[in-house]
Copies of this chain bind each other. A is one copy, B any other.
Amino acid sequence: MARSTVSHEAGAIYEFTPDLEALETVDSGAQLTIDTRDSLDGAVQSDSDVLESVPEEVNAATGPIAVSDAKPGDILRVEIEAVRLTEDHGRVVTIDGFGLLDGDEAIEAPRTRMTPVEGGGDDKQTIAFGDLEVPVEPVIGTIGVAPDAESYTTLVPHDHGGNLDTTDITAGNTVYFPVFQEGALLAMGDCKAAMADGEMCGTGAEIACEIDVTLEVIGGNDAAVDLKRPLVETDDAWKPIASAETLEEACKLANRDAIALLAAAHDLDETEAYMLSSLTGGLEISQVVDPLVTVRNAIPKASLSAPF
């Protein structure tokens, strides 16, 4: 079956709102290629293009895509088959007022460094950072669904997803979202050619990409737990993802979600599940720079069967 393509040129959003209007509607099971532009909308094309402040609109998310039979209480499964770079340069920037070390006098902002993409074909792609080479490991920075009641710009992560900046959201992995609105209304963009856990300077190597996904709706009744926030499945782990004002608060939310999964899977009370969560896998930092910060709690698949 040929994949249909959804392009950012047809539609992209800068805010996840409860009343998003679908750009396109597909059935559960649809295989799509989603074309995204870079998080800075092409504004940075050389080292001399610096950003004096965070643009009012960033992280354009291609979509929204409605899945025809998704209803509130369901779960949207997004299997990510591939993330391909579609330009030959990424860019890393510092911006005054943004980033982990914002205000540190040793750090200069604004600054821009273009990161040319090298290799490809049979060779693994890299990006050049000056004389150095960094392996290309693409990340989808912003991905989410229409939220329950509040609206969130694409700079902000929350329970609907959004600017999660989580390195595990990449080819080969699957992300699950709670469905809050009819059709779910998925959108994604803000890809990086490479990004560290933490995204300390405020960006990875921001780059346009196209993404192959398969979308599937899971009935809420088929789930072992009530999914409140995004969950990512990697080869070897399940990882609830939580965003909050502080890392401590995000850790608590992600750990509570991990406890709910472990308790349901093994018929444990919450204290036992908490103890078990303290023995294997553990807390991981997604990003520490967006207006809310994001943490995940990895649970190895050896300790947890599929919850849906």
Contact = CB atoms under 8 A, between A and B. Distances in A.
Interface of A: 92, 94, 99-101, 104, 106-109, 111, 113, 115, 127, 129-132, 134-135, 167, 194-205, 246-248, 251-252, 255-256, 266, 268-272, 274-285, 288, 293, 295, 297-298, 302-303
B246 A278 contact: no
Contacts of A135: 280, 302
Contacts of A276: 129, 132, 134
Contact of A279 (B94, B99, B134, B288): B134
B101 A194 contact: no
Nearest to A256: B101
A277 B130 contact: no
Contacts of A268: 130
Given A101-B256, A256-B101, A285-B251, A274 B94 contact: yes
B200 A283 contact: yes
A274 B167 contact: no
A272 to B, nearest CB: 7
A106 B257 CA distance: 13
A307 B149 CA distance: 51
Nearest to A250: B247
- In the complex, the count of this chain's copies comes to 2
B278 A288 contact: no
Given A167-B282, A288-B283, A113 B272 contact: yes
A203 to B, nearest CB: 7
A51 to B, nearest CB: 13
Task: Give the most central of A129, A268, A270, A275: most B CB within 10 Å.
Answer: A275
B278 A200 contact: yes
Given A127-B279, A280-B196, A285-B285, A101 B201 contact: no
A198 B282 contact: yes
A240 to B, nearest CB: 13
A194 B279 contact: yes
B132 A274 contact: no
Contacts of A204: 278-279
B201 A108 contact: no
Contacts of A275: 92, 94, 111, 113, 129, 201
B200 A274 contact: yes
A250 to B, nearest CB: 9
A205 B279 contact: yes
A276 to B, nearest CB: 6
